[in-house]
Amino acid sequence: MTAPSKRAAVAPDPLRLPDPRHASRVPVQLDAAAVERIRQAAYALPQVVRPADFIADGTPGFEDYLDDRGFILLQKVQPEQRPSRWIAPEDMQAALQHLDAVGSARGAHALMVERGRELDALGLSRQGRHWERRVTQTLSLGVAGVPGLPAGPTGLGLPVAFQAPVPAAAVWAFYRDGDADALRAALGPAPAYPHAAELTAHLDALLERSASNSPRQLDS
């Protein structure tokens, strides 16, 4: 009697990516259905980027820029209609969490735009693959009692603005829930300017030289 034939194994659903080469970049824990969720909601996901978020439009190799850096193409460019849309493999899990919390129904894109404006008001911005915040620290220069300087034990205070790294997880959480207080708590206190000692020493030397040569020009 002939033995019953074994049932053929069911092949996994293929990834419906615009560039099949990018299938190897997808994290192994994500199946085709998860990737398709991200692809269909690309317009409403804060994790999704365009080449213009990194380089100026018209730069040679514009459409290849993100490909060369390991991003995954979700939607091809439609000339005169929409830019291409990409995502970093490490941001795909956060994108799925976002869809679980916010969805992609009507109004989702407008909500993301509004929360992006709130981040901007807090001094947060995306720089390439990373997030940063603008921090201002006032350095106290050590020249006191010099004619032309404001009165006070520390002499002159100079505000210095710089960019400090921000954990992306804190930003993705804000995009999901809009909780600004939780975002501030996650960011913690503003970090100190890393080159404060060097800059203060340099400016002190300039002040001392100016005070000895031309005190009237200290304001400038």
Is the separation of the CB atoms in 161 and 208 below 8 Å?
A: no
Choose between 151 and 35: higher pLDDT: 35
105-114, 121-130, 159-168, 196-205: the lowest-pLDDT one: 196-205
Read off the pLDDT of residues 11-66 as tens digits, 9 standing for 90 and up.
456 788 999 999 999 999 999 999 999 999 999 999 999 999 999 988 999 999 99
- State the Cα–Cα distance between residues 35 and 93, nearest whole angstrom: 10
Q: Is the pLDDT of residue 10 over 50?
A: no
Burial degree of 66 (CB within 10 A; 0-12, 13-18, 19+):
buried
Q: What is the pTM of this model?
A: 0.76
C-alpha dihedral sign at 132, 97, 44, 61:
positive
What is the signed CA dihedral for 196, 198, 199, 203, rounded to 10 degrees? Answer: 130
Read off the pLDDT of residues 85-126 as tens digits, 9 standing for 90 and up.
999 999 999 999 999 999 989 899 999 999 999 999 999 999
